[in-house]
Amino acid sequence: TSFGFTTVAEGQKQGMVNDVFHKVAERYDLMNDLMSGGLHRVWKDAMVSVLAPPKTPAREWTLLDVAGGTGDISTKVVRRSNNAVKAVVCDINNSMLNVGQDRADKAGLSELIRFSQGNAEDLPFPDKTFDAYTIAFGIRNVPDIPKALREAHRVLKRGGRFLCLEFSEVDVPLLDKVYDAFSFKAIPPMGQVITGDGEPYRYLVESIRKFPHQERFAEMIREAGFERVTYRNYTGGIAALHSGWKF
């Protein structure tokens, strides 16, 4: 790339991503807070507000949170519903899931949040199972994004909602420069200090740069069969929330 980093071949991508998250599972939330200056919490809360899970569902209502890691989004959704809904956290990485399971046990939420190992490209669930599908800071790491989007569409019920929170393209002059400098110069050294290896963070920063911009990603969501696809930017486009419906 123009930043002088080597590109990871598609085939190696998943392996590299898995290494990163096995290494950081225990310190993952600390890393998030440090690297985003706490902003990831604000963006995730905004995502949960948009989803607005029912507080008194007429029937069982279940969220599938893919690449759900340690269960951040699921925990927020279940809490916001006053424990009225259920969530399934699906992640390819069992180290992340184990940390999440421990946390859910301690929070007394293990009846409401289930943890299930699986690949976003090939979800281990039947068609039309879920009322909502969320993926936060996860789709960027998936090698075949169109395939993951088709899977999201498949497992949703009719009337189901798709929400994706992801790092995106900064559209504010100057903020883009500051952001570039911060991510390329500060993130890898922070990873080095906290996990002992900066290289995977170079890769993660690079993957943010390669991810399609807001309009193009909205188009990909439409191509997977979703309707009424919209997005909104957070913090000048550092993150964006895409929404779609399955009808």
Query: Where does this chain bind ligand SAM (CB under 6 A)?
Result: 17, 21, 66-69, 72-73, 91-93, 96, 119-121, 136-138, 141-142
Task: Give the nearest residue (CB) to ligand SAM.
Answer: 69
- For the CB of residue 17, give the shortest distance to ligand SAM in the complex, in Å: 5
Residue 45 annotated as binding site: no
Half-sphere exposure of 105 (CA within 13 A, CB side): 7
Residue 91 annotated as binding site: yes
Which of 12, 9, 129, 143 is closest to 67 using CA atoms?
Answer: 143
- For the CB of residue 138, give the shortest distance to ligand SAM in the complex, in Å: 4
CA 1 vs CA 5, 82, 145: distances in Å:
6, 47, 21
- For the CB of residue 25, give the shortest distance to ligand SAM in the complex, in Å: 8
Nearer to ligand SAM, 43 or 179 (CB): 43
Q: How far apart are alpha carbons 247 and 228 in whole angstroms?
A: 10
> Does the CA dihedral 42-47-52-55 come out positive or negative?
negative
Q: Could you tell me whether strands 239-245 and 156-167 are parallel, antiparallel, or unpaired per DSSP bridges?
A: antiparallel
The partner residues of 91 in beta bridges, in order of sequence, read 117
Q: Are 102 and 69 in contact (CB under 8 A)?
A: no
Nearer to ligand SAM, 172 or 220 (CB): 220
Radius of gyration of the chain (CA): 17
**H/E segment holding residue 63:** strand 62-66
Would you give the DSSP letter of residue 70? T
Q: How far apart are alpha carbons 86 and 61 in whole angstroms?
A: 6
Nearer to ligand SAM, 99 or 221 (CB): 99
**Alpha helix segments (H runs only) across 70-133:** 72-80, 94-106
- For the CB of residue 119, give the shortest distance to ligand SAM in the complex, in Å: 4
- For the CB of residue 14, give the shortest distance to ligand SAM in the complex, in Å: 6
Which two structure tokens, joined as six digits, stand for 218?
A: 């909205």
Nearer to ligand SAM, 72 or 206 (CB): 72
Nearer to ligand SAM, 62 or 207 (CB): 207
- For the CB of residue 67, give the shortest distance to ligand SAM in the complex, in Å: 3
Nearer to ligand SAM, 93 or 168 (CB): 93
SS3 (DSSP) at 116: strand
Residue 32 annotated as binding site: no
Binding residues for S-adenosyl-L-methionine: 70, 91, 119-120
Binding residues: 70, 91, 119-120
